[in-house]
């Protein structure tokens, strides 16, 4: 049972990390460098302007970190 939980948590952590990078890190870097977000970010969140151009990717990154930490705690309880 513990190995099953660990495998599931590891898989979910990978998916969340990938989503955090694709919808958080890369769009934030693009916004800082070129003033535009990446295509996947615009597809999910639409075109964000002004302060939201910074805030939305940062919230995505924060959310991904929180979910990964929660999954890590769930793994350790197994």
The domain containing residue 54 runs over which residues? 2-76
Task: Please state the pTM of the whole predicted model.
Answer: 0.90
> Does position 5 have pLDDT exceeding 90, yes or no?
no
**pLDDT for 28:** 96
Containing 70, the helix (H) or strand (E) segment is helix 52-76
Query: With contact defined as beta carbons under 8 Å apart, do 22 and 69 qualify?
Result: no
Predicted confidence (pLDDT) per residue in 23-48, tens digit:
999 999 999 999 999 999 999 999 99
For residue 41, with 0-12 CB atoms within 10 Å meaning exposed, 13-18 middle and 19 or more buried, which class applies? buried
Average pLDDT over residues 14-20: 97
Q: Which two tokens stand for residue 28?
A: 């934030």
């Amino acid at each position: 049972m513990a190995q099953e939980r660990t495998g599931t948590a590891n898989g979910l952590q990978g998916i969340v990390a990938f989503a955090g990078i694709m919808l958080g890190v890369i769009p934030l870097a693009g916004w800082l460098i070129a003033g535009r977000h990446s295509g996947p970010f615009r597809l999910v969140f639409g075109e964000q302007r002004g302060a939201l151009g910074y805030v939305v990717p940062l919230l995505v990154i924060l959310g991904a970190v929180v979910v990964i930490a929660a999954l890590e705690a769930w793994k350790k309880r197994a």
